[in-house]
Amino acid sequence: MSDTILKTVSETSTNQERQAMYQVAREIEFCYGHRLLNYSGKCRHLHGHNGIAIITLQAEILDDRGMLIDFGDIKQKVQLWVDENLDHNMILCKDDPIVPVLESLGERHFLMDSNPTAENIARLIFERALSEGLPVVKVQLWETAKCNASYQMSSQPGIDAQ
């Protein structure tokens, strides 16, 4: 009898609640140089930024430790990759005519298929996190203290559009 009552209460409660999720985020700071092709603003010249990437993970349930993830796992799977590949590096489009010059001088650089905008660097880090099996839903890249770009999942499962 009491089991039946509890079940009914639980179902009613579930139907009335919006689907709630856990989220965790970790900031990764890194310095990078770049320049943008096909662009007339200041970023067409070689220059650098002190960027901050914020990696957001999401899940419906926690593990038996009560965690979505150990923050140290984000460090191991994403931050170390950023440290080794993007930090203190020149991030350039593979079509940039300066690439052969840097290569001839033995200068370090990281090549992207696309223009190295904040949007595309956010996507690059997002795809890295995804390839490591992390439940990433958003990467936000702060290129300056005032400007950021994000790459994120367009919709979240279980939340109905209205």
Q: Which residues are catalytic?
A: 43, 88, 143
Q: Report the alpha-carbon distance of residue 10 to residue 79 in Å, rounded.
A: 41
Could you tell me the two tokens for 58?
Answer: 């999401």
90 or 136: whose CB is closer to Zn ion? 90
CB of 47 to Zn ion, least distance (A): 6
CB of 34 to Zn ion, least distance (A): 6
Helices marked H in 78-134: 80-85, 99-105, 118-131
96 or 136: whose CB is closer to Zn ion? 96
56 or 120: whose CB is closer to Zn ion? 120
The C-alpha angle with vertex 155 and arms to 152 and 158, in degrees rounded to 5, equals: 135
CB of 130 to Zn ion, least distance (A): 25
41 or 66: whose CB is closer to Zn ion? 41
Query: Taking CB positions, which residue lies at the least distance from Zn ion?
Result: 43
Name the site residues for Zn ion (rule: CB under 5 A): 43
Strands 89-93 and 110-112 come out as: parallel
CB of 26 to Zn ion, least distance (A): 23
Q: Give Cα 118 to chain centroid, integer Å.
A: 11
130, HSE (Cβ side, Cα atoms, 13 Å): 12
Q: Report the alpha-carbon distance of residue 78 to residue 54 in Å, rounded.
A: 11
